Amino acid sequence: MAHSIGVRRNRRAAAGIAAVATAILLSACTAGSGSSGSTEAGASTDASAPVATRSAAPEGELPTELQSKLQAAVEKVMADYDVPGAAAGVWVPGEGSWTTAVGLADIAGNVPVTTDMQWPIRSVTKSYTVTLLLQLADEGKLSLDDTLDQYVDGVTNGDTITLRELANMSSGNADYVGEAFIADFSKDPSKIYTLDELNSFVLGQPAQFEPGTEYVYTNANTNLLGAVIEKVTGQDYADVLQERILDPLGQTGTEYILDVSTWAEPHPTGYQPADDGTQEPQTENSSILGAAGSLFSTLDDGRVWAETLGSGALLKPATQDEREQGHQIASPPYDQYALGIGETNGWWGHNGEGVGFTAATFHDNATGASIVVYMNESNVAGRAHPADQAFRALAEVLANGASK
């Protein structure tokens, strides 16, 4: 998606088009094979669904010594990966809260990061989309074992790909980032794509593998689920998201943004490392990510979502249990990936990365703690994920305690 700013026009264009595949694929690669299971979430026609309200942040501040260690952990990750700016928070029930804003949201403008800025959260969006799917399953409006062709026509193997396989990344369908999409995008990198337009680049394309036999993480899986949600509800994806999740949770700082001219300012600029070691600012076009990655959010909304997602507050307990039946996946970095949710060292949540930004949103059900990290750097050498590294470092500080 991104065009580099401040370099020669021809180099900028070439880098921008190449970045489309890199950013949208979001490190997709094949992991081990496995079965997607056969139970049916949502088989009940009971329309009663759990209702969640916005939780308050834990009162008071975390102990001073613990805050110092948390701050040092974030700053070390930023130094290790040359991250321009970051916002992060840690919330522990019964102990207190801690948030921080470090570095620059925009290097050229010398704009500091603040804790109330709105950030692109990239693939954390997937956790919202799959939650919507599971809510509809809870209400008996669909089954996870329904085949895709019941809702979307024209996808290769659509008569055997299940909704579950789309949610857990084992569908095998083609991704939309191919020659046709890149050619279309290159004509106008500012074009605002609809969900239907993104999905159109999947139709009729060869499958990557037989459904349920491998795991490959792609945005196309989740964008097709976005189309399923629209078909079942008869509403636009954005409206379903607003009514079912954002409004009930009071997520006033979270928006599904396709036209970034509406993005609240001041806001961070995304960066990617250049060959010469400098940070190249990236041009934002979130519409190329759709229901897989077009959400923007704030730190406190991230706190609320971390707790809601990790605890399963919007789903029936049995559905949340089924959601957490996971498998190993090569990337993004999790110990296991399940139905639109990942697990790392007992923490459940989701990461996001692409075109200058990384995000991590996680919750530990054992302690009730939540961690959220937003950073304005992506595509780091060695496929490192700065926000995920910071989340892991913060979780380790909590595990070790301030006295160690």
Contact of 27 with 329, CB cutoff 8 Å: no
Residues 63-113 have pLDDT tens digits of: 999 999 999 999 999 999 999 999 999 999 999 999 999 999 999 999 999
Q: What's the rounded Cα separation, in Å, for the pair 393 and 397? A: 6
Q: How high is the pLDDT of residue 255?
A: 98
Looking at residue 18, its pLDDT comes to: 43
Output the pLDDT for position 49.
Answer: 67
Length of the chain: 404
Q: In which band, very low, low, confident or very high, does the pLDDT at 48 lie, cut at 50, 70 and 90?
A: low
Amino acid identity of residue 10, one-letter, is: N
Q: What is the pLDDT of residues 355-381, one digit of tens each?
A: 999 999 999 999 999 999 999 999 998
Q: What is the pLDDT of residue 277?
A: 86
Nearest to 80 by CA among 273, 312, 306: 273
- The mean pLDDT value for 29-54 works out to 50
Mean per-residue pLDDT of the chain: 90
pLDDT at 189: 96
191-245 confidence digits (pLDDT tens) = 999 999 999 999 999 999 999 999 999 999 999 999 999 999 999 999 999 999 9
On the question of pLDDT at 51 being above 70, the answer is yes
pLDDT digits (tens, 9 = 90+) for 129-174: 999 999 999 999 999 999 999 999 999 999 999 999 999 999 999 9
For residue 87, the cross-strand partners are: 101, 374
- CA distances to 97, 263, 308, 370, 390 from 303, rounded to whole Å, are 10, 20, 9, 6, 16
Q: Where do the structural domains in the chain lie, given as residue ranges? A: 9-28+62-400
Q: Report how far residue 249's alpha carbon sits from residue 341's, in angstroms, rounded to the nearest whole number.
A: 19
Global pTM reads 0.90
Q: DSSP secondary-structure letter at 60?
A: S
User: Where residue 50 falls among pLDDT bands split at 50, 70, 90?
Assistant: confident
In 3D space, the residue among 231, 207, 232 whose CA is nearest the CA of residue 218 turns out to be 207
CA distance 396 to 373: 14
Could you tell me which residue, 402 or 253, shows the higher pLDDT?
253
Question: Is residue 332 reached through a cis peptide bond, with omega within 30 degrees of 0 on the bond before it?
Answer: yes
Does the pLDDT at position 41 exceed 70? no
Provide the pLDDT for residue 8: 30
Which tokens sit at 353? 């990365």
Say which residues have a Cβ less than 8 Å from residue 183's Cβ, sequence separation at least 6.
Answer: none
CATH 3.40.710.10 fits 9-28+62-400, yes or no: yes
